[in-house]
């Protein structure tokens, strides 16, 4: 049993294709691939969350400024 296109995984020892996302022998995801995916997803979520927070804060301050300016003009 010697497949030239399969490489043994260092973490579990099973021979798996380099293009595979998970081990065919034990089903575990490849650590490097899964870690990079998780970090990417968290980074994007964190960036999007910060942008949404910033936009919400800026729109709140702007609306309050317009509201206060309108009140002052009425008085």
Site for Zn ion in 30-59 (CB under 5 A): none
Stretch that binds Zn ion, among 23-31, 34-42, 58-66, 67-75 (CB under 5 A): 23-31
For Zn ion, the binding residue among 7, 22, 26, 69 (CB under 5 A) is: 26
Smallest gap from residue 19 Cβ to Zn ion (A): 15
Judge whether 30 and 9 are in contact, CB under 8 Å. Answer: yes
For Zn ion, the binding residue among 8, 25, 43, 49 (CB under 5 A) is: 25
Helix (H, G, I), strand (E, B) or coil at 53: helix
For Zn ion, the binding residue among 6, 14, 15, 30 (CB under 5 A) is: 14
Judge whether 29 and 22 are in contact, CB under 8 Å. Answer: yes
- With CA atoms as reference, report the closest residue to 49 among 60, 41, 61: 41
């Amino acid at each position: 049993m010697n497949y030239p296109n399969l490489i043994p995984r260092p973490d579990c020892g099973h021979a798996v294709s380099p293009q595979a996302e998970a081990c065919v022998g034990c089903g575990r995801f490849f650590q490097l691939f899964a870690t990079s995916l998780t970090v990417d997803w968290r980074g994007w979520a964190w960036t999007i969350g910060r942008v949404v927070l910033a936009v919400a804060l800026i729109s709140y301050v702007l609306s309050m400024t317009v509201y206060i300016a309108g009140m002052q003009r009425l008085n």
